[in-house]
């Protein structure tokens, strides 16, 4: 799983000339244009060209990048939702257009905004003029685009947060878009988690294969071992292990993923060793697995459920068995875990992120011994770069498959997430732990003194 909404250090607003209570000398005239309103909030420093349906414009005339506000509805979206949600609504609905970048990869435009645009709050007197200028009718919320899920407080119809029924609905929203669409974006590996690039020149498929190799080696898997892969996606880890003689069981809450994975297993002739089930990981009844992998699932669990999550996975392991947890994290352990705005309403409903320290603590608190952890943050930025490139390459087919609004959601989400990983606003940590054993293989008496896998 990935996310655009990371934690970035706060940037101080510039101290040299600020808007005054007579912005652009127009207070006497009474009404500000939309471009003047934007310049007020941006302190007169726009890194791109802005044009609006009222005929106004701002920013460098020769700017390579631009945004165009096309309709009054777009103004309402921008005025009635905080942060990135209003921008996303206007963009996805077609009321805001971007120029100079491809909608499948708006990274350069988002980077320019993040690096150079700092919003400041005008004085109450100027804010009153802004309200008069844009009109009170644009301060009344309107229905969002149909791709948006309801706010969290209205999702109770699907059950309590992180109940089995509500988790199933959240997974359906994101992962059951279209297997064909995912094939275009993810490429042949059909792997929707951070790759591990052996070098900057490596392809996406090489990096995803290297990631599975890394997980396989960290778990010390050998022919005849039993692997449980929770949140298995399209079965990439399950099939990788089965090709090497491991009996692998995967589970996912996505029906689309289940059907694709089962077909791929049959086509590869792996049915004697590999299995992917549709269902909740909490319904796995078997135990005694030699290893458990969780690659991109923890983001959906909910931080308050970490104790029961790690306790359950530990209960599925035999003594001395290894657990590999691979998930997106925040750079600290104190910020609010719940995602907000665009990510929560369009991408990952009910997603929650916290720091690697909290994850390690909860794993240790149920009796697991943490052996190793590492941060693959830069690798995820490269992964998202390559996913965006795939979306651009297959843009016309993607739009025909899922519709323009959904395709735009994906371009915005992946490009923004790349930016967040590059800046350190979000990270990706792998944590390796062992269930204390009795000295048998993979137990205390057999684990090497130092990491036994190659980078």
Distance separating the N- and C-terminal Cα atoms of the chain: 22
Task: Say whether both 241 and 289 belong to one domain.
Answer: yes
Confidence at residue 440, expressed as pLDDT on a 0 to 100 scale: 52
Residue 240 in domain:
yes
| CB 149, CB 341: distance < 8 Å | no
For residue 174, the enclosing domain spans: 164-434
| CB 69, CB 96: distance < 8 Å | yes
Task: Say whether both 347 and 202 belong to one domain.
Answer: yes
| pLDDT tens digit sequence for 164-197 | 555 545 454 455 579 999 999 999 999 999 999 9
Task: Say whether both 288 and 363 belong to one domain.
Answer: yes
| pLDDT tens digit sequence for 342-390 | 998 899 888 899 999 999 999 999 999 999 999 999 999 999 999 999 9
What pTM did the predictor assign?
Answer: 0.88
Confidence at residue 441, expressed as pLDDT on a 0 to 100 scale: 52
Given 139, 173, 202, the domain boundary residue is 139
pLDDT confidence band for 90 (50 / 70 / 90): very high
In percent, how much of the chain has pLDDT > 70?
A: 86
Task: Say whether both 176 and 127 belong to one domain.
Answer: no
Q: What are phi and psi of 277, to 5 degrees?
A: -110, 150
Confidence at residue 13, expressed as pLDDT on a 0 to 100 scale: 37
Task: Say whether both 365 and 218 belong to one domain.
Answer: yes
Task: Give the span between the Cα atoms of 221 and 322, in whole angstroms.
Answer: 9
Whole-Å CA distances, 312 to 157, 251, 273, 322, 368: 27, 14, 24, 14, 11
Residue 4 in domain:
no
Task: Say whether both 76 and 184 belong to one domain.
Answer: no
Residue 148 has pLDDT above 80, yes or no: yes
Q: 444 or 216, which is more confident?
A: 216
Residue 160 has pLDDT above 60, yes or no: no
Ramachandran quadrant class, 224 (left: phi over 0; alpha: psi -120 to 50; beta: rest): left
Task: Give the span between the Cα atoms of 211 and 201, in whole angstroms.
Answer: 15
| CB 90, CB 69: distance < 8 Å | yes
Task: Say whether both 215 and 357 belong to one domain.
Answer: yes
Any idea which residue has 């400041």 for tokens? 120
Q: 69 or 157, which is more confident?
A: 69
Residue 449 in domain:
no
Task: Say whether both 106 and 53 belong to one domain.
Answer: yes
Task: Give the span between the Cα atoms of 113 and 117, in whole angstroms.
Answer: 5
DSSP per residue, 349-394:
TT-B--BHHHHHHHHHHTTPEEEEEEE-HHHHHHHHHHHHHHHHHT
Confidence at residue 260, expressed as pLDDT on a 0 to 100 scale: 97
Residue 257 in domain:
yes
Residue 384 in domain:
yes
Task: Say whether both 193 and 49 belong to one domain.
Answer: no
Confidence at residue 41, expressed as pLDDT on a 0 to 100 scale: 87
β-bridge pairing 369-375 and 289-295: unpaired
Residue 441 in domain:
no
For 268-282, what is the mean pLDDT? 97
Task: Say whether both 129 and 72 belong to one domain.
Answer: yes
Residue 273 in domain:
yes
Residue 12 in domain:
no
* CATH number of the domain enclosing 271: 3.40.50.150
Task: Say whether both 182 and 94 belong to one domain.
Answer: no
For 54-62, what is the mean pLDDT? 95
Confidence at residue 20, expressed as pLDDT on a 0 to 100 scale: 40
* Tally of domains in the chain: 2
pLDDT confidence band for 17 (50 / 70 / 90): very low
Task: Give the span between the Cα atoms of 407 and 399, in whole angstroms.
Answer: 6
- Going by C-alpha positions, the residue among 258, 256, 263, 228 that lies closest to residue 242 is 228
Distance between alpha carbon 194 and the CA centroid of its chain, in Å? 10
pLDDT confidence band for 275 (50 / 70 / 90): very high
Task: Say whether both 122 and 176 belong to one domain.
Answer: no
Task: Give the span between the Cα atoms of 372 and 228, in whole angstroms.
Answer: 20
Confidence at residue 339, expressed as pLDDT on a 0 to 100 scale: 78
Confidence at residue 154, expressed as pLDDT on a 0 to 100 scale: 53
Residue 364's CB: how many other CB atoms inside 10 A? 13
**Vertex 449: Cα angle to 443 and 450 (nearest 5):** 115
Task: Among 13-17, 49-53, 348-352, 427-431, name the one with the lowest average pLDDT.
Answer: 13-17
């Amino acid at each position: 799983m990935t996310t655009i909404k990371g934690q970035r250090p706060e940037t101080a607003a510039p101290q040299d000339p600020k808007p005054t209570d007579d912005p652009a000398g127009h207070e006497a005239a009474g009404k500000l244009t939309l471009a003047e309103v934007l310049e007020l909030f941006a302190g007169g420093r726009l890194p791109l060209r802005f044009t609006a349906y009222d005929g106004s414009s701002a920013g460098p005339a020769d700017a390579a990048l631009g945004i165009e506000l096309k309709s009054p509805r777009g103004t309402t979206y921008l005025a009635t939702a905080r942060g990135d949600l209003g921008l996303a609504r206007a963009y996805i609905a077609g009321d805001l257009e971007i120029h100079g970048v491809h909608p499948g990869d708006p990274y350069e435009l988002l980077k320019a905004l993040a690096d150079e645009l700092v919003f400041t709050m005008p004085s109450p007197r100027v804010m009153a003029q802004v309200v008069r200028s844009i009109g009170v009718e644009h301060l009344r919320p309107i229905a969002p685009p149909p791709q948006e899920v309801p706010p969290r407080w209205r999702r109770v119809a699907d059950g309590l947060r992180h109940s089995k029924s509500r988790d199933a609905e959240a997974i359906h929203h994101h992962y059951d878009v279209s297997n064909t669409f995912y094939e275009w974006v993810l490429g042949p590996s059909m792997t929707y988690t951070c790759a591990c690039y052996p070098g900057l020149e490596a392809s996406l498929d090489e990096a995803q294969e290297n990631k599975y190799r890394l997980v396989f080696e960290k778990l010390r898997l050998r022919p005849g071992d039993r692997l449980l892969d929770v949140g298995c996606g399209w079965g990439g880890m399950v099939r990788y292990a089965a090709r090497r003689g491991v009996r692998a069981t995967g589970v996912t809450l996505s029906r689309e993923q289940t059907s694709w994975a089962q077909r791929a297993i049959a086509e590869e002739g792996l049915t004697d060793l590999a299995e992917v089930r549709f269902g909740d990981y909490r319904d796995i009844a078997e135990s005694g697995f030699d290893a458990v992998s969780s690659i991109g699932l923890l983001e959906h669990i909910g931080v308050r459920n970490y104790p029961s999550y790690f306790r359950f996975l530990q209960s599925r392991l035999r003594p001395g068995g290894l657990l590999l947890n691979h998930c997106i994290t925040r750079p600290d352990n104190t910020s609010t875990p719940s995602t907000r705005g665009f990510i929560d309403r369009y991408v990952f409903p009910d997603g929650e992120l916290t720091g690697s320290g909290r994850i390690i603590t909860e794993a240790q608190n149920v009796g697991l011994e943490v052996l190793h952890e590492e941060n693959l943050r830069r690798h995820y930025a490269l992964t998202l770069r390559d996913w965006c490139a795939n979306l651009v390459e297959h843009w016309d087919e993607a739009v025909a498959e899922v519709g323009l609004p959904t395709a735009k959601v994906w371009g915005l989400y992946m490009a923004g997430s790349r930016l967040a990983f590059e800046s350190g606003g979000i990270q990706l940590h792998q944590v390796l732990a062992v269930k204390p054993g009795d000295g048998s293989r993979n137990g205390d008496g057999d684990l090497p003194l130092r990491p036994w896998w190659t980078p």
